[in-house]
Structure 1
């Protein structure tokens, strides 16, 4: 297939693109390589893709409507994976407008391009952050998600609503994937595993919020990519079991689905740090701090809907995933 991947120089996007190329798909990568975190890491991910048969790349902003339209018109993708977004919960407190520009305006440009240039299936990144103030665990796609606690989360919830509208009005099959704390080789420097590894190796203390007592459904990047591909290959149709008298956010009479992708095994942050210490062979000096604004105490993915529809089962324990990350980190940074 011909697949357009936005955010192709990103953590998940670059890993996904390698997998798609390996199975013989043609991929057009679309990314602006912004400086939200170190662009040299994005350039290094992209360099590994450049020159691979079937890969082409466009450097542009999602907010650039003409650039998005041109990419669709010239490449003519069969399917689209929209991963590019302004990421980060904490940064959304400092720079809220970046989230509207990229995650709302940029996503609208993708939807409009899918509408006008044709698209068999749009798969897009949502986030576990949409569960916000919810406390019922595990988080299930059937749960109401109307209480976000960060603008980042609100923008991802808005993406789901926008996608549903286009599925309903124009019959575009769309699938939203709520990712749960993704980690692994080539990961993001703003995420805990990366920050902790850098500081522990440098002999610096690490900031541990909520005194390390919150839990996360840490999900290894290869498991995430497996779930993305399984959903990409299965465009949704209208849900025959959908009951408008008892609506669910997960499906619709339109060709629309939302799924969780997580490890289905939450781990307390203090345990995660122990696993990292074992992999590094060093102890961390911890600075225990209260919860940060915009954070949630716990995440835990109910992935039963994704398992039912695609056969997806996460298979990477944190001990394996963290060790793989540390090996990559030491090799990449020569430490």
Structure 2
């Protein structure tokens, strides 16, 4: 049985579905009391309400379920920031990751997968493919990639110290059903939502104005989830860190064109221009060790996402 922290979240719920599709049973650990999405109804899934920062409660889950692997997708960072208690928030965030590793050791778990992010590459000036073995800048533009870098280093230390295999997932920009973020870092989710509801997109939350030629490695959430499931279930992995991505750069112009195939009258135009290098995550390592290939190009992804939203789902 695979334990998935954050298993009812955006990427987590799709990862559970992918694991179930591959024949696994899952136990989902979620801090808040939340009902599983409809697409998990009837699946071999148990839901436990537990805060990973509470070690006794987390360890108690292992008393009721035979956990053989862990996919740690719950956020181990102080987000959103707590300006009044920054030290306590940091201690609690990192404590959650340490508790997951403690549980893995106590339960005799073979492999723990830990979510990292494409954001760890921020600051590199390279064009083209970004590889897992590239030296990363010590600085960070945002708390999330800062704590993901810390998590990767801690995970490496704990893997060596405990003998538990730790695998880092450097997850690219992910979009699709149940995305709670909207236009937080990139435009695609809000462009789809605007097309589905027949309005103009609100991109005011982006860190910079969006342009048609802006690009990022954009991966549909169902592909992201399947890649994570494959990494968890592989008999053997040859590396500690894997890019989880589409393996190509997708521009806003391509997203807009794909959306307009499904919604021809969508009011989602963006000004021409763009900034920054055109980069993507190299997924050669992921492909060689798991056989992963993206199933959703941008057109199929946009159509699937719009269908989901138009079926009455809010996000």
TM-score when normalising by structure 2:
0.83
How many residues are matched? 304
Deviation at 1:197, TM superposition (A): 3.1
Deviation at 1:313, TM superposition (A): 2.0
CA contact (8 A) 1:178 1:258 kept: yes
Match of 2:26, SS state, is strand
Cα distance per residue 1:123-151 (max 9 Å; x no partner)? 11111111111121311101012332211
Q: In structure 2, do the counterparts of structure 1 residues 162 and 230 end up closer, same or farther at CA, with 3 Å as the change threshold?
A: same
Q: How does 1:76-155 map to 2 (within 5 A)?
A: 76-85=66-75, 97=86, 100=90, 103-136=93-126, 137-146=128-137, 147-155=139-147
Q: Runs in 1 of length 4+ with deviation above 4 angstroms?
A: 86-89, 91-99, 285-291, 295-299
Distance in 2 separating the partners of 1:17 and 1:287: 35
1:310 aligns with 2:290: yes
TM-score when normalising by structure 1:
0.79
Q: In structure 2, do the counterparts of structure 1 residues 274 and 17 end up closer, same or farther at CA, with 3 Å as the change threshold?
A: same
Match of 2:262, SS state, is helix
CA contact (8 A) 2:2 2:67 kept: yes
Q: In structure 2, do the counterparts of structure 1 residues 108 and 142 end up closer, same or farther at CA, with 3 Å as the change threshold?
A: same
Q: In structure 2, do the counterparts of structure 1 residues 135 and 284 end up closer, same or farther at CA, with 3 Å as the change threshold?
A: farther
Q: In structure 2, do the counterparts of structure 1 residues 167 and 285 end up closer, same or farther at CA, with 3 Å as the change threshold?
A: closer
Per mean C-alpha deviation after superposition, the further-off stretch among 63-72 and 208-217 is: 208-217
1:194 aligns with 2:189: yes
CA contact (8 A) 1:134 1:145 kept: yes
CA contact (8 A) 1:99 1:151 kept: no
CA contact (8 A) 2:72 2:113 kept: yes
Cα distance per residue 1:182-210 (max 9 Å; x no partner)? 12233334354333333342524432744
- 2:62 pairs, out of 68, 72, 76, with 72
* Cross-structure match for 1:181: 173
Distance in 1 separating the partners of 2:199 and 2:146: 37
* Cross-structure match for 2:163: 171
